[in-house]
Amino acid sequence: MTADWTIEKVADILLDAESNRTDRGRITDEWPGLDLKAGYDAQKVLIERKKADGHTVVGVKLGLTSRAKQKRMGIDSPLTAVITDKMVLEAGVPIVLDQLIHPRVEPEIVFVLGERLEGPGVTAATAMRAVASVHAGLEVIDSRYRDFSFAMPDVVADNASSARFVVGAKSVSPDGLDLALEACVLRINGAVVDTATGAAVQGHPAEALALAANALAARGEAIEAGSIVLTGGITDAVFISDGDEVSVEFTSLGQIVVPVR
């Protein structure tokens, strides 16, 4: 049976799960050949398929960059994935549960790059010089695996559970910001469900950006000027229900409020 598996098949299964809103067991349980490299190859095929379907790549995201996320998912190393225009939720536009499987939300610090960033050898300081603006972010993740249960190659192939994201309208210059100390409060229906500061993300979100540039370079890719970079959930991700109002509020980056229906 395992002879039937290919990276194309992995990508197609995950795309079907996304469009049919069905979850499934880990692919690594069925195909031990899905290692980390095959996972990234499958992610690449999945993104090519989305592009052929009319999606435009708008940037990259990091996943599992904070201890809160790593602990929740039982995986202790960060990963990268690709974000497209069809994932963008404009502020105020609801998260529609009918379009998703079992969405969770997480606050993120978001960069928009003014310059192309290409590894290897990128440090947090050089990474920060490529950043044009910093924004509040809210990511909606929606694993195509049952109960969000996956090994690293599974989640890499699944484009790191990507589904939707909101970039806050407030655009803040990186100069004079201390992103390690930038605080965030996640509220559902006004009740605080989690809090964290930017230091939760690899010590500083710029470290996550550098990590992405260097990891992509190892696969022959760079982060283009104009890219949106989601630096990774800074708190644990939380489930949402019909009628909820989700709010992420940051010290300097502003607030995003999104209804759920």
Q: Which residues bind ligand OOG (CB under 6 A)?
A: 63-64, 69, 73, 106, 139, 141, 143, 148, 155, 160-161, 232-233, 237
Contacted entry of Mg ion, ligand OOG, none for residue 73, CB cut-off 5 to 8 Å set by kind: ligand OOG
The DSSP-derived string for 26-69 is: -HHHH-TT--HHHHHHHHHHHHHHHHHTT--EEEEEEES-BHHH
Nearest Cα neighbor of 227 from 211, 214, 213, 217 is 213
Nearer to ligand OOG, 6 or 36 (CB): 36
Question: How is residue 187 written in tokens?
Answer: 């509220």
Segment 119-178, which members bind Mg ion (CB under 5 A)? 139
Rounded Cα distance, 236 and 70, in Å: 9
Q: Which is nearer to ligand OOG, 47 or 64 (CB)?
A: 64
- Cis-peptide into 120, omega within 30 deg: yes
Contact partners, residue 96, CB within 8 Å, separation at least 6? 261
Comparing CB distances to Mg ion, the nearer of 73 and 177 is 73
Residues 218-237 that bind Mg ion (CB under 5 A): 233
**Which two tokens mark 109?**
């610090």
CB 4 → ligand OOG: shortest distance, Å? 26
Instruction: Pick one of ligand OOG, Mg ion, none as the site partner of residue 152 (Cβ within 5 to 8 A by kind).
Output: none
If you ran DSSP here, which 8-state letter would residue 71 be given?
H
| Residue 198 makes contact with Mg ion by CB under 5 A | no
Work out how close the CB of 141 gets to Mg ion at its nearest, in angstroms, rounded to a whole number. Answer: 6
Q: Which is nearer to ligand OOG, 155 or 179 (CB)?
A: 155
Nearer to Mg ion, 78 or 233 (CB): 233
3-state percent helix, strand, coil for the chain, nearest multiple of 5: 35, 30, 35
- With respect to ligand OOG, which residue has the nearer C-beta, 23 or 221? 23
User: Which residue(s) pair with 81 in the sheet?
Assistant: 61
Contacted entry of ligand OOG, Mg ion, none for residue 103, CB cut-off 5 to 8 Å set by kind: none
Taking the complex as a whole, the smallest distance from the CB of residue 242 to ligand OOG amounts, in Å, to 21
Residue ranges in contact with Mg ion by CB under 5 A? 139, 233
